[in-house]
Structure 1
């Protein structure tokens, strides 16, 4: 049989032992991963090397970073160019650069950090993912496992807060990572060559070089592994001010002193500021009215022996319950000048530059109706054809440019509706739930002080709005009803805390359901 295979006379570009230098960069959106990749490619090509870069976009802040991959290698004899890979291969990556600490952990899980080959360059700061922000309670991922793993799985580790260093020098994190790469000794180029590449960019050159130098020197002097997420010393809550200039605010301050135990003063003052900012001074009076009544119950339950923990805890969680997330609050936050200033600082806005932000919003008819007065909202909900017709027009994704007039004005209008909030269906619903929660905690307090306090903390499960709010409410009801079923047990408070912990840490509710089944098993015997 005739062999028609075409055979090309390809010769190796160098010795069989020669291999490219491979660099993987994992960076969140807006952190200059593309700029850093371009700098590295430019650096290699300036020195006659062949370099190739590819990128695989992630979903940025939601589920992970974009992965940039660079391979570089000297051209072969006669100018023959090597064939370079487009994606990192586990066990075959020389340098991994992570712009955020948990991204370093994800790189380890992908297998691209290995102890015999890889230099790991990572910033120790945290940029919380949306999943960490939206889950109930304290859902921040534990970084200690990453800290422990880095010292084992990497040949060389360079880890410090590169983001803080870049900000201090008026630049962005890519400049600091570039400086650490230069100091790591993994690339065969002189320091001045890195400067030349930065200068070619032509933007923010001086600030970039300052950040580069600071990171270079920090790396050379030794990058000590940080104690990420180490528990800080308790931050003391500031004492109450002697008086306030505004007469209405000062009256509220005097109420705290006169009506609440001293142990709850500081937390009540913080809570009062939160609810007044959320609504108005009259809402602050309502907050103190409720807190005063809870404090009286606390005294009857011998709260003095417990340093009035029930009142202090109520001061915190009652404020959170009263300052709930609704469409009005979200709109106000997005149009506040303080928010724009924070975003400008985070992206390093320079003089002469214009800042635009695009918000993705997906409102539902249910959320729109909830901010209407109770009578009108119920009238609309009772007319299903009209309600469904409106829902088809409202329930869709939208991209709104906040700092353009056409986007700013609708958001500003919605935010200005806060004067109507206390007449809304959403407020009525929140008040009913709030009063039932406080009644359950107060009832438990009379016979089991610790259980009453524990029930107050269940409010941690509820936050956000839309689907996030619904899921939180569902978990809250499970935890509260299960706790009430064992309220007569001496260890009810301990089981309440176990239920709360399971609900906070488990997004799928499997652990929570398992804890509930355990309680049901001994309750039925």
Structure 2
């Protein structure tokens, strides 16, 4: 580093990851080793749409220079020496902002992902390609050090900021020794031992500089790996035997996962209905290729495990969820944890959870309907960490036994059968089109308003498929589906329908 210029360090970290602590460590490191130091921060917005940017400048003290330097408050695009990113998308954001430059910047980033709101709320698979992010970041940086720092933090019992601090030391880009970095942690006096363990892991990985290897490597299966144990439940064993006997090899892995999912969702009898539907499709289309059966097996399982109020309550009251939340907030065994569920069921969800006849009656406009609807507008907060709140949702989840008699089950069963019928109709004149029809189920997902908007787009798309009939090309349907997935309100789908003269 040129001592006539400050050392410029930008840190991008999300809430709870210790970005402020990391910035303070860098400042303390500089101040105790002959540097002026200054840190500023610009908070990101809530709900994982942006991280806080911490900016640190270090300027070497000169005994012959009595004046105090004036340090900048914000990073300047194209003029940052080191960028530390606590997550892969944040590394991409730093590149996008121009903070990372090929001839100047050392980029240190974790390769794990915490999905953004835009990725989570996409109608389809909205995830950004990790490989593309890594490629762009690598091309933009002078040096790119990367590995899964979240995993290293868990392994050391610390937080990711300590791993980043170790990786920063391991790069050797700052004019300080490893011991000076470690002394900085020790001066903090809080969580010193786990922080030093995390520092060691970060230092070792950065010093080895093996970011290009095994970022996303998966363990390979041994050729003599033992087969999965046979299920102990005879009913489940019979279902798996049906999968192997009735479906081609290409579809079996999806069908087995579908059976597992639907047993968890309802019971073995419901999983048997799933296999009955697949077997009926194969009998109707004896010449169907593996791709059609594979995609139908996949999307049929997803549709049959639709998210109703019973399913939502079930997932929110599982012990595994409480354990996951405690782990995410790093709650200690002796700490009390409060979990508030923000519920906003519409009148439609209430009607659909009731037995079909009662649900249809309540759905019609009358005094009781208006009274119930008035009480659903505000929504409510259910505290599942309290006995009252937990029992409320637990009781709702126990309604699973009557799910097949609910209005929602009746509606979804009719939609599923219509979808399967359309797959058969399309396959009779164009098997490739039938595969695209099967994949249109991706539009039907989620709960409440999200489900309603996705279903509306799906129904619009299926109406176009019926109108177009045999003249509809598979590529056209794929384009229409992509348009529907890109915009949950249906504007892009309507524009695409008009473009293809199918409006």
User: Which residue does the alignment assign to 2:119?
Assistant: 132
1:96-175 counterparts in 2 under 5 A? 96-175=83-162
> What are structure 2's unaligned runs of at least 5 residues?
none
Q: Secondary structure of 1:93's match?
A: coil
2:498 maps to what in 1? 517
Q: Which residue matches 1:421?
A: 403
After TM superposition, give the deviation of residue 137 of structure 1 in Å. Answer: 2.6
Work out which of the residue numbers 358, 375, 384 in structure 1 matches 2:357: 375
- 1:459 maps to 2:441: yes
Report matched runs for 1:474-485 at 5 Å: 474-485=456-467
The answer for the alignment partner of 1:54 in structure 2 is 40
Change (3 A) 1:30 1:382: same
Q: After superposition, where does 1:354-503 map in structure 2 within 5 Å?
A: 355-383=337-365, 386-396=368-378, 400-489=382-471, 492-503=473-484
Tell me which residue corresponds to 1:211: 198
Deviation digits for residues 80-119 of structure 1, max 9, x if unmatched? 6554443333233332211111111111112222334332
User: What does residue 314 of structure 2 align with?
Assistant: 332
Number of residue equivalences: 500
Instruction: Specify the alignment match of 1:11 in structure 2.
Output: none
In structure 1, stretches of 5+ residues that fail to align are 1-16
1:252 aligns with 2:239: yes
Kindly state the Cα deviation for residue 166 of structure 1 after the two structures are TM-superposed: 2.5
Change (3 A) 1:276 1:464: same
The one of 25, 39, 51 aligned to 1:39: 25
* Cα shift at 1:216: 1.0
- Secondary structure at the aligned position of 1:488 is classed as helix
Q: CA deviation at 1:182?
A: 1.5
Deviating more after overlay: 441-450 vs 146-155: 146-155
Structure 1, 429-438 or 157-166: larger mean CA deviation: 157-166
Residue of structure 2 in register with 1:30 after alignment? 16
Partner of 1:313: 295
Q: CA deviation at 1:438?
A: 1.1
What secondary structure sits across from 2:209 in the alignment?
A: coil
Contact 1:421/1:427, CA 8 A, preserved across alignment: yes
Using the TM superposition, give the Cα deviation of residue 278 of structure 1 relative to its aligned residue in structure 2, in angstroms.
0.5
Give the whole-Å Cα distance in 2 for the aligned partners of 1:263 and 1:240.
19
Distance in 2 (alpha carbons) for counterparts of 1:427 and 1:69: 54
Aligned residue for 1:188? 175
Q: Distance in 1 between matches of 2:81 and 2:482?
A: 41
Do the aligned residues in 1 keep the contact of 2:148 with 2:215 (CA within 8 Å)?
A: no
CA drift at 1:344: 4.1
The aligned residue for residue 70 of structure 1 is: 56
Secondary structure, aligned partner of 1:70: strand
Structure 1 pair 395–499 and aligned structure 2 pair: CA distance change class (3 A): same
- Looking at structure 2, the residues matched to 485 and 29 of structure 1 have their Cα atoms a distance apart, in angstroms, of 51
- Compute the displacement of 1:279 (Å): 1.2
**Whole-angstrom distance in 2 between the partners of 1:74 and 1:23:** 14
Contact preservation (8 Å) 1:499, 1:515: yes
- C-alpha contact (below 8 Å) 2:303/2:416 kept by paired residues: yes
Q: For 1:263-342, list aligned pairs within 5 A.
A: 263-299=250-286, 302-303=287-288, 306-307=289-290, 309-342=291-324
> CA offsets, 1:26-48, max 9 Å, x none?
12233222332232233334446
CA distance in 2, matches of 1:387, 1:286: 34
Taking a change above 3 Å as real, the CA distance of residues 285 and 69 of structure 1, as seen in their structure-2 partners, is same
Give me the TM-score of the superposition, normalised by structure 1. 0.83
Bigger mean CA deviation after superposition, 224-233 or 353-362: 224-233
Take 2:97 and 2:295, find their aligned partners in 1: how far apart are those partners? Answer: 43
* Separation in 2, partners of 1:283, 1:148: 45
Give the deviation of 1:67 after TM superposition: 2.2
Q: Greater CA deviation, 202-211 or 72-81?
A: 72-81
CA distance in 2, matches of 1:228, 1:506: 33
Query: Judging changes above 3 Å, is the alpha-carbon distance between structure 1 residues 398 and 451 closer, same or farther for their aligned structure 2 residues?
Result: same
Moved more, 89-98 or 54-63: 54-63
Give the distance between the partners of 1:35 and 1:136, measured in 2 at CA: 37
Report the secondary structure of 2:231's partner residue: coil
3-state SS in 2 of match to 1:139: coil
- Structure-2 change in CA distance of 1:476 and 1:216 (3 Å): same
Provide the residue aligned with 1:5 in structure 2: none
Q: Distance in 1 between matches of 2:318 and 2:50?
A: 28
How far off its partner does 1:467 sit?
2.5
C-alpha distance in structure 2 between counterparts of 1:297 and 1:62, whole Å:
47
Alpha carbons 2:310, 2:396 under 8 Å: kept: yes
SS of the residue corresponding to residue 50 of structure 2 reads coil
**Residues in 1 aligned to 2:400 and 2:322: alpha-carbon distance in whole angstroms:** 21
